[in-house]
Amino acid sequence: MGARMAGEKILLVEDNPVNRRLAVFLLRSQGYQVLEAATAQEAFAILASEGPHLIVMDIQLPGMDGLEATKKLKEQPGTAHIPVLAVTSYAMKGDREKALAAGCAGYITKPIDKNTFIQEVAALLGNKSRI
């Protein structure tokens, strides 16, 4: 392979297909491998067999929401170490605090800003930004 990128694996949990496509496109454009889940349940199924380096978690998910899912991940020894980047479309005062309290390592709001998103992901993966 000619690509000289690390290709870290990222699990994207997002129920909206349009938002999911955009995030997948942005992440793949940076050379990341992307696993996709539309619900927290799907995410847990993927995590049973895959060990992503980062989870990008939409907060508004059907069924179990992203904060609940993050709390669960942080309780499991197998997934507690994986950083979670929370994404929310309803930025209310106190939301960021709630996300961080649930165990999220970072927090961004929709509509996602391309550069902020890529920088946040790179920072959580401990990479120097490629921009």
Domains held by the chain: number? 1
Q: What percent of the chain has pLDDT over 90?
A: 81
Residue 18 falls inside a structural domain = yes
Residue-wise pLDDT tens digits, 91-113: 788 888 999 999 999 999 988 89
Residue of higher predicted confidence among 72 and 91:
72
Residue 47 falls inside a structural domain = yes
Residue 31 falls inside a structural domain = yes
For 61, the domain range is: 9-124
Residue 97 falls inside a structural domain = yes
Question: Would the pLDDT of 130 be above 80?
Answer: no
Residue 27 falls inside a structural domain = yes
Residue 4 falls inside a structural domain = no
Residue 1 falls inside a structural domain = no
Question: Would the pLDDT of 131 be above 80?
Answer: no
Residue-wise pLDDT tens digits, 8-38: 999 999 999 999 999 999 999 999 999 999 9
Question: Would the pLDDT of 54 be above 60?
Answer: yes
* Residues 6+ positions from 43 with CB-CB distance below 8 Å: 11, 13, 37, 55, 57, 69
Query: Which pLDDT band holds residue 6 (cuts at 50, 70, 90)?
Result: low
We report the CATH number of the domain holding residue 75 as 3.40.50.2300
Residue 41 falls inside a structural domain = yes
